[in-house]
């Protein structure tokens, strides 16, 4: 997709040559400064109630009088923010997507555009044209849209160009994460994720290492391997390295949960909607997506990605409730529930992260249904005892329109993890389940700054729109960019 800026004053939009002109409208009519043909068309439509000044409303006009574009779409925004701009653009794109539009021009009336608007537009377009096709030959052909021009005043061009470039990097990462997440579990295996990491490494110059079962045994990763032992698929522990800064500069480490299918193991899940457990590698997908964005944006920062990946399956060899395993840290864990497997594979990855002497470690995981109950599907759960790190991650989520919400980590929650037979159990009771899961992970992070993102409610959608969202690639990318020299 070719995204570019087109220097066009707001009072000259009707003269823009394109297949379709999409105008995002916000504010009062006097603030919109549209030229005469467009102002008249909008005023007439409002007077006739063909469109109302309410967020999400759109109006399509074909070959409107006095407008050079063959197609015109007005779309209403709640306000002038990037978030409202993106939502309005998505509504307008839904009108344009089925048409034979090759060149789309987009403008804002009543709002001052900045880099965040430009980034939001790229991500909106990428989301609108995405369709999963890998195992669905009958999927509709890709829309012909090949060029998107953002119409702007010359004074704002530099900032907008920065936003377009950042948006393209993030959109590429989100698309990769969605592609990995949407593949069925018989396609997206731990071996597949390792191959994707190697492909990324070859394309962008990342250093890639893939540890197999024997390597993990030598390292003492008893928690990770106990989850993997019930599956036919061999486990893979994937290490990615992006070296964008000086060799001695401490890296940011991203740790992604890579359970490519989660039956729950011996503590088996109900059969209803179990197919969606192919999305349980959403954390791993987001790490791959973030590295895809890094390959495009090339910030001056060192980043390590760690992906422990395996299936969680019931079999004669599977870990059982009541088994005690020894983690890489040396701490023992009573496996009270084999469906609390994500924290078992993550804890060994968090211990492995120590060798990089990181400036900060962020783990990303579809970890608990309890987080969905707490926050629904809009905000990712953020857990950390580090106030400064929390603020940086929350700001990154806001900047990327990929929001998170900070949850508590009071010491009292740790009481639920006590065990009579090991240093800890892998679950507490149902109350505060997402918090006790984070408290479990916290026990393996004493040597560095750490945060945990629970994306169980945000990594995928159910129902008619079922599919991976690619979140939180935008949050992670903005966070890494904020750490650049």
Query: Mean pLDDT lowest for which of 137-146, 198-207, 253-262, 336-345?
Result: 137-146
Percent share of the chain, pLDDT over 70: 99
pLDDT higher than 90, residue 245:
yes
Percent share of the chain, pLDDT over 90: 94
pLDDT higher than 80, residue 458:
yes
Compute the average pLDDT of residues 191-215: 98
pLDDT higher than 70, residue 345:
yes
- Average pLDDT of every residue of the chain: 96
> At how many degrees (to 10) do helices 115-129 and 82-96 cross?
30
Compute the average pLDDT of residues 229-247: 97
pLDDT band at 235 (very low <50, low <70, confident <90, very high): very high
User: Rounded to an integer, what distance in angstroms lies between the CA atom of residue 62 and that of residue 109?
Assistant: 20
Compute the average pLDDT of residues 252-257: 98
pLDDT higher than 70, residue 155:
no
User: Rounded to an integer, what distance in angstroms lies between the CA atom of residue 8 and that of residue 153?
Assistant: 6
User: Rounded to an integer, what distance in angstroms lies between the CA atom of residue 242 and that of residue 294?
Assistant: 8
pLDDT value at residue 439: 98
pLDDT higher than 70, residue 270:
yes
Burial category of 395 from C-beta neighbours within 10 Å (exposed 0-12, middle 13-18, buried 19 and up): middle
> What's the pLDDT tens digit per position in 17-75?
999 999 999 987 667 889 999 999 999 999 999 999 999 999 999 999 999 999 999 99
Tokens standing for residue 449 = 């700054």
CB 46, CB 22: distance < 8 Å: no
- How many CB atoms neighbour CB 7 within 10 A? 12
> What's the pLDDT tens digit per position in 275-294?
999 999 999 999 999 999 99
User: Rounded to an integer, what distance in angstroms lies between the CA atom of residue 85 and that of residue 124?
Assistant: 10
Compute the average pLDDT of residues 177-203: 98
Beta pairing class for 71-76 and 147-152: unpaired
Tokens standing for residue 462 = 């159910």
The residue among 303, 282, 307 whose CA lies nearest residue 470 is 282
Burial category of 35 from C-beta neighbours within 10 Å (exposed 0-12, middle 13-18, buried 19 and up): middle
pLDDT value at residue 446: 96
pLDDT higher than 80, residue 396:
yes
pLDDT value at residue 317: 97
CB 365, CB 453: distance < 8 Å: yes
Residue with tokens 């794109």: 93
3-class DSSP state for residue 149? Answer: strand
Beta pairing class for 324-326 and 332-334: antiparallel
Compute the average pLDDT of residues 156-171: 95
pLDDT value at residue 28: 76
pLDDT band at 13 (very low <50, low <70, confident <90, very high): very high
Give the number of C-alpha atoms closer than 13 A to the C-alpha of residue 378, restricted to the C-beta side: 3
User: Rounded to an integer, what distance in angstroms lies between the CA atom of residue 1 and that of residue 168?
Assistant: 9
* Beta carbons within 8 Å of 314's beta carbon, 6+ residues apart: 230, 263, 264, 265, 266, 268
Query: Mean pLDDT lowest for which of 24-28, 207-211, 438-442?
Result: 24-28
Where in the sequence numbering do the catalytic residues fall? 269, 343
pLDDT higher than 90, residue 200:
yes
Compute the average pLDDT of residues 110-116: 93
* Beta carbons within 8 Å of 23's beta carbon, 6+ residues apart: 13, 34, 38, 72, 73, 74, 75, 106, 107, 108, 109
pLDDT value at residue 99: 94
User: Rounded to an integer, what distance in angstroms lies between the CA atom of residue 449 and that of residue 359?
Assistant: 7
Ordered domains of the chain (ranges, CATH): 2-172 (3.40.220.10), 184-482 (3.40.630.10)
pLDDT higher than 70, residue 422:
yes
Long-range contacts for 33-40 (Cβ within 8 Å, ≥24 apart)? 33/109, 33/110, 34/10, 34/109, 35/10, 35/11, 36/66, 37/64, 37/65, 37/66, 37/67, 38/13, 38/14, 38/66, 38/67, 38/72, 40/66
Per-residue DSSP letters for 310-354? EEE--STTS--TT-EEE-TTS-EEE-S-TT--HHHHHHHHHHHGG
pLDDT higher than 90, residue 156:
no
pLDDT value at residue 30: 63
């Amino acid at each position: 997709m070719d995204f570019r800026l087109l220097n066009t004053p707001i009072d000259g939009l009707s003269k823009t040559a394109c297949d379709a002109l999409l105008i995002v409208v916000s504010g009062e009519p006097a603030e919109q400064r549209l030229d005469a043909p467009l102002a008249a068309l909008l005023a007439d439509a409002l007077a006739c109630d063909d469109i109302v000044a309410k967020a999400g409303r759109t109006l399509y006009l074909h070959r409107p009088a006095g407008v050079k574009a063959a197609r015109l779409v007005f779309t209403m925004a709640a306000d002038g923010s990037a978030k409202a701009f993106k939502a309005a653009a998505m509504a307008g794109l839904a009108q344009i997507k089925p048409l034979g539009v090759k060149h789309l021009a987009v403008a804002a009336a009543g709002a001052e555009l900045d880099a965040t608007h430009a980034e939001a537009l790229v991500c909106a377009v990428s989301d609108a044209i995405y369709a999963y096709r890998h195992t669905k030959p009958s999927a509709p052909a890709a829309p012909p849209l090949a060029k998107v021009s953002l119409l702007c005043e010359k004074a704002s061009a530099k900032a907008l160009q920065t936003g377009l470039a950042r948006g393209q990097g993030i959109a590429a990462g989100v698309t990769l994460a969605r592609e990995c997440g949407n593949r069925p579990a018989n396609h997206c295996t731990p071996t597949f994720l390792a191959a994707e990491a190697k492909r990324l490494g070859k394309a962008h110059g990342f250093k890639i290492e893939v540890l197999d079962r024997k390597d993990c045994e030598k390292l003492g990763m008893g928690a990770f391997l106990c989850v993997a032992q019930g599956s036919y698929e061999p486990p893979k522990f994937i290490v990615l390295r992006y070296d964008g800064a000086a060799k001695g500069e401490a890296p940011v480490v991203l740790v992604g949960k890579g359970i490519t299918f989660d039956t729950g193991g011996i503590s088996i899940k109900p059969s209803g909607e179990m197919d969606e457990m192919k999305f349980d590698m959403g954390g791993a997908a987001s790490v791959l997506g973030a590295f895809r964005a890094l390959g495009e944006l090339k910030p001056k920062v060192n980043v390590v990605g760690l992906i422990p990946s395996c299936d969680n399956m019931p079999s004669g060899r599977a870990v059982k409730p009541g088994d005690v395993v020894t983690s890489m840290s040396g701490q023992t864990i009573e496996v009270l529930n084999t469906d609390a497997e994500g924290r078992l594979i993550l804890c060994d990855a968090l211990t492995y992260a120590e060798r990089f002497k990181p400036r900060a470690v962020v783990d990303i995981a579809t970890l608990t249904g309890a987080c969905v109950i707490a926050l629904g599907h809009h905000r990712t759960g953020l857990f950390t005892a580090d106030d400064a790190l929390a603020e940086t991650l929350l700001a990154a989520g806001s900047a990327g329109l990929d929001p998170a919400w900070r949850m508590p980590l009071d010491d009292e929650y740790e009481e639920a993890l006590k065990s009579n037979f090991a240093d800890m159990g892998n679950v507490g009771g149902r109350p505060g389940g997402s918090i006790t899961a984070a408290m479990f992970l916290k026990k393996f992070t004493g040597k560095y700054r750490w945060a945990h993102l629970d994306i169980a409610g945000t990594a995928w959608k159910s129902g008619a729109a079922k599919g991976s969202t690619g979140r939180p690639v935008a949050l992670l990318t903005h966070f890494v960019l904020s750490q650049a020299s």
